[in-house]
């Protein structure tokens, strides 16, 4: 599933980039293909998150947080194609004021998609252990700090 997710995500971005290129004549066709990869990406993410959330070993609190994160992701990610449609359909004109509005909208979505998502994860850090495959947390190297190295004229002590 991870490989399929990465491929779908990369193709979504690549085809979406071509769709947004003003020199390319097939904007809406590329947008449609990119949306197909977008929906596939959301499906893979949603399926994985719901599988973990619905696991009988998952507490109700963790299930609630995972489903909140899933819906947050879906709703915020849906704003990106909406902004694209608003821009390329002519609703948002190609002038500096509208371009500034579009940049602000994309920025708002980026902050919500990354900072708010991360904040929810930090508030519920125990959810990370449920969302990771078995054994992953045990393989994360831990950095421990012993006595600091002291340098002197006689060398390292």
In 3D, which of 128, 140, 134, 136 has the Cα closest to residue 49?
128
Q: Which residue has the tokens 């949306």?
A: 35
C-alpha atoms less than 13 angstroms from C-alpha of 110 in its C-beta half-sphere: 6
Residue 140 in this model has a pLDDT that exceeds 50: no
Residue 67 in this model has a pLDDT that exceeds 70: yes
Q: Each residue of 79-95: pLDDT tens digit?
A: 999 999 998 888 887 77
As a whole number of angstroms, the distance between CA 7 and CA 37 comes to 9
8 A C-beta contact, residue 75 and residue 38: no
Residue 138 in this model has a pLDDT that exceeds 50: no
Cβ atoms within 10 Å of 127's Cβ, excluding its own: 22
């Amino acid at each position: 599933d991870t490989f399929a997710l990465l491929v779908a995500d990369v193709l979504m971005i690549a085809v979406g980039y071509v769709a947004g290129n003003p020199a390319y004549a097939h904007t809406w066709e590329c947008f449609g293909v990119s949306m197909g990869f977008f929906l596939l990406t959301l499906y893979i993410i949603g399926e994985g998150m719901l599988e973990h959330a619905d696991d009988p070993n998952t507490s109700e609190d963790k299930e609630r947080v995972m489903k909140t994160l899933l819906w947050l992701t879906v709703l915020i990610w849906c704003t990106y194609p909406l902004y694209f449609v608003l821009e390329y359909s002519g609703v948002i004109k190609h002038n500096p004021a509208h371009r500034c509005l579009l940049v602000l909208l994309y920025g708002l979505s980026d902050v919500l998609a990354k900072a708010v998502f991360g904040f929810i994860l930090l508030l519920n850090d125990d959810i990370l252990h449920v969302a990771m495959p078995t054994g992953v947390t045990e393989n994360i190297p831990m950095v421990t700090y012993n006595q600091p190295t002291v340098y002197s004229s006689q060398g390292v002590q």
